[in-house]
Amino acid sequence: MGKLRLLFVKEGRAVYISHLDLLRTFQRVFLRQGLVLRHSQGFHPHPIISFALPLSVGQASDCEILDFEVNEDMDGAGLPEALNAFMPEGIRAVDCYIPVRPVRELARLRCRVDLVYDGGVPEGAAEEIKKLLLGESVVIQKRTKRKAMADIDIRPMLHSLDILEAPGLLTLEAVVSAQNPGMNPALLAAAAEVHLPELAADFVRVRRLEMLDEKGEIFR
């Protein structure tokens, strides 16, 4: 009976696969490869498989984590290559191992938020946005689970921020809280759009770069 953790990349065409669809997709990938997942007990057994941190549709990631259980003793060596033969385009396993750290220790996310400006980056945008996001508080409206709108301050969930400028592109490199509570990196762009409407980007692209723990060390 082995618990295993799979580290994988999700990018390109695959970023539009939703959480639930990705779950189904992985179940099938394992079956194609011939790996039998351990199933829950009960009247309707289902395979034991879960993502550490669900990823929003449309966002790419270099560091997705999938936990699952198999019926045999194995350490996961060689599994990424074996699974990759059966993946849809844009999903690629990079590592598989027996997990030592519980998912709750996954505290932060290093991520990249691209703000694309078709007409070129407005003068001083990088400084303005940095000032805004690193200010005392950054309040935005967010829909709650009860569908009401609530004000939340995202500032406490932003741990570091760098902004790089290229022609037509501002890249925010940030470390944000991953869970309890976590923030969707897309909110950085949303905050800029609300508070600095004149600097609103034409398109926003988000990519998770690395999962980190509380101390900022890489979480595996």
Using alpha carbons, select from 184, 187, 175 the residue that is nearest to residue 214.
175
* Binding-site size, another protein (CB under 8 A): 31
Q: Give the shortest CB-214-to-another protein separation in angstroms.
A: 32
Max CA distance (Å), the chain: 62
Q: What count of other Cβ atoms lies within 10 Å of the Cβ of residue 212?
A: 21
36-73 burial, b at 16+ Cβ within 10 Å, e below that, comes to: ebbeeeeeeeebebebbbebeeebbbbbbbbbbbbeee
Asked whether position 17 contacts another protein by CB under 8 A, the answer is: yes
Q: Give the shortest CB-140-to-another protein separation in angstroms.
A: 18
Asked whether position 198 contacts another protein by CB under 8 A, the answer is: no
Which C-beta is closer to another protein: that of 43 or that of 143?
43
Asked whether position 215 contacts another protein by CB under 8 A, the answer is: no
Asked whether position 203 contacts another protein by CB under 8 A, the answer is: yes
Asked whether position 84 contacts another protein by CB under 8 A, the answer is: no
Helices (H), the chain: 19-33, 79-84, 125-133, 186-195
Asked whether position 13 contacts another protein by CB under 8 A, the answer is: yes
Asked whether position 90 contacts another protein by CB under 8 A, the answer is: yes
Spatial distance between the Cα atoms of 62 and 94, rounded to a whole number of angstroms: 9
Spatial distance between the Cα atoms of 55 and 20, rounded to a whole number of angstroms: 11
Among 19, 40, 50, 57, binds another protein (CB under 8 A): 57
Asked whether position 171 contacts another protein by CB under 8 A, the answer is: no
Asked whether position 168 contacts another protein by CB under 8 A, the answer is: no
Contact residues for 46 (Cβ-Cβ < 8 A; gap 6+): 39, 40
Bridge partner residues of 214 (DSSP)? none
**Coil, strand or helix at 127:** helix
Residues 23-52 close enough to bind another protein by CB under 8 A: 24-25, 27-32, 34, 39, 43-45
Query: With CB under 8 A as the contact rule, which of the stretches 14-22, 62-70, 145-153, 168-176 interacts with another protein?
Result: 14-22
Residues in contact with another protein by the rule CB under 8 A: 12-14, 16-18, 21-22, 24-25, 27-32, 34, 39, 43-45, 57-58, 86-90, 202-203, 205
